[in-house]
Structure 1
Amino acid sequence: MYADTIDTDERPFVLIWEVTQACDLACKHCRAEAEPRRHPDELTTAEGKALLEEAAAFGDGQLVVLSGGDPLARGDVPELVEYGTDLGLRMTMTPSGTNSLTADRIQALADAGLRRMAVSIDGASAVSHDEFRQETGSFQQTIEAARHAKRAGLPLQINTTVCRDTVEELPAIRDLVADLGAVLWSVFFLVPVGRGAVLDPISPEHAERVMAWLCSVQSDAPFGIKTTEAPHYRRVALQEQTDSESPGPASDGIGRRTGITAGDGFAFVSHTGELFPSGFLPESAGSVRQESLVDLYRNSALFEGLRDPDALQGKCGACPYRNVCGGSRSRAYANTNDPLESDPLCAFVPDGYDGPLPASWENSAVGD
């Protein structure tokens, strides 16, 4: 099942469930602003199983990502993975790189039916990664967890945040992704929410160069590459392919050939049951405790509006690539409080466009 072939009006390609916001790390970019204690109003095990049953109603093979915080702060995660697997869901997880991620726990998740595990590497050394994650030892724990996953037969995904603090480390991280035998490198371009609001993003021009570089890496890398909150990677890849006949973004091993955006192929259930278009776009369509997940995704005004490329405003609305890109709705919301405004990270200006440009460009460091 490919993202190109599913009808994203009817179902998300990716459904993320933030099972908890509890985490022992205090990462600089954390959207959730996680803390060690679990929230008393988290979805219970029974409510989580009901949510998974709703997810299965989207159709065969629905992809579900258990995220956090650190999902392993909950003791029922293997039970939830097994339950979802028995329902026919493709269960994956993004645990934190802490000492909770032991070989035994990873093997238990694999035995329960987990299809993929993703870990985050934001620096190519212990010094840079641990400083970003605000926890000494996190780098080594993450590397060991990646190796445990390989021994357990779990396909591995590496997630990396791109901002001023990390961008120069990308080539070395690429080498580490290959050395660890990952099947996918997910490159997340910073959205200024949560703790990440105090970090410096790279400029739009720098983002263009990074995306062109990712296209060149993809041409011979032993792993797939996707971007998160940077759907204009698809536009850059199309332009690169036209110029050089190099291949565009490849399949990532779970069927996603092309990008998805908040509310259009992507949905996020918070730890307390609120349905958001993305974890980085905190506008609620309603609660899965009171309403049907399927109905909220398909019929809420918020999600329907985000799936209409003709509703986009500014240069995103005038862009000839709006049907294949659409811009980051989360970043537009973070910068303007309007999810339909232009994505300020995209440097592309359509030919003949003379309308307003993102206000944040005035403060962009063009030369970085």
Structure 2
Amino acid sequence: MRPTLPVKNHPANRIFLGLPPPFLCLLIAPLKAALAALRRLTDYGQIQALAGLFGQGCTAGVNVVSITPNGGVKPCAMMPVVVDNVRRRPFSEIWLRNPLLNKLRDRSNVKGWCASCRFVTECGGRRSRAYAYFGDLFASDPNCAKAPVNHG
């Protein structure tokens, strides 16, 4: 079971920590700082606005990022792509101004069959699979369950 820490009193706004307990205690101080930064963003409505952009599907960079133990910020834990580092720049600045994170939030950047799929707004395709298979974060999801129905 992963511990859940509320960011705001809304069921969709949770931070999930997928670390086993021995490692979790090592993150308490940085986690408190990250939560304080998230609360400041939430106070300005920025997290809430982004959380409501899409129904479901891939949330990489949209309302989720992964922060590595050395501070690297990745759009998704499954991606080898690091967009910045919280040790060099405040998380709030990375979240709001990083060009790749902002590009991931715009579903019109998705290419291939995903771009013409009627579910692109809700789904957007899994960006980590697109990157693993095609080397392009914005390529079609090669393992899309709906592709045979919609595209052939």
TM-score normalised according to structure 1 size = 0.31
- Aligned pair in 2 of structure 1 residues 16, 267: CA closer, same or farther (>3 Å)? farther
Distance in 2 (CA, whole Å) between partners of 1:319 and 1:348 is 8
The residue that corresponds to 2:66 in the other structure is 268
Gaps of 5+ in 2: 1-9, 44-53
Residue 48 in structure 1 maps to residue 31 in structure 2: yes
Q: Deviations over 1:165-212 (max 9, x none)?
A: xxxxxxxxxxxxxxxxxxxxxxxxxxxxxxxxxxxxxxxxxxxxxxxx
1:49 match: secondary structure: helix
Residue 301 in structure 1 maps to residue 107 in structure 2: no
The residue that corresponds to 1:284 in the other structure is 82
1:325 match: secondary structure: coil
- Aligned pair in 2 of structure 1 residues 331, 15: CA closer, same or farther (>3 Å)? farther
The residue that corresponds to 1:316 in the other structure is 114
RMSD (CA atoms): 3.2
The residue that corresponds to 1:259 in the other structure is 56
Letter in 2 for 1:279: A
1:266 match: secondary structure: coil
Considering only CA atoms, is the larger Rg found in Structure 1 or Structure 2?
Answer: 1
Preserved contact between residue 320 and residue 350 of structure 1 (Cα < 8 Å):
no
Which residue, 118, 126, 147 being the options, matches 1:328? 126
Distance in 2 (CA, whole Å) between partners of 1:277 and 1:53 is 20
- Aligned pair in 2 of structure 1 residues 15, 285: CA closer, same or farther (>3 Å)? farther
Distance in 2 (CA, whole Å) between partners of 1:331 and 1:267 is 16
The residue that corresponds to 1:348 in the other structure is 147
The structural deviation recorded for 1:282 is: 2.4
Letter in 1 for 2:147: F
Q: Deviations over 1:130-172 (max 9, x none)?
A: xxxxxxxxxxxxxxxxxxxxxxxxxxxxxxxxxxxxxxxxxxx
- Aligned pair in 2 of structure 1 residues 319, 297: CA closer, same or farther (>3 Å)? same
Distance in 2 (CA, whole Å) between partners of 1:293 and 1:312 is 25
Letter in 1 for 2:56: G
TM-score normalised according to structure 2 size = 0.69
Instruction: Name the count of aligned residue pairs.
Output: 131
Distance in 2 (CA, whole Å) between partners of 1:299 and 1:280 is 22
1:275 match: secondary structure: strand
Distance in 2 (CA, whole Å) between partners of 1:284 and 1:264 is 15
Q: Which has the higher contact order (CA 8 A, sep 6+)?
A: 1
Which residue, 16, 41, 45 being the options, matches 1:58? 41
The structural deviation recorded for 1:272 is: 1.6
Which contiguous aligned blocks of 4+ residues in structure 1 show a shift greater than 3 angstroms? Answer: 13-18, 43-48
Distance in 2 (CA, whole Å) between partners of 1:259 and 1:268 is 18
- Aligned pair in 2 of structure 1 residues 2, 55: CA closer, same or farther (>3 Å)? same
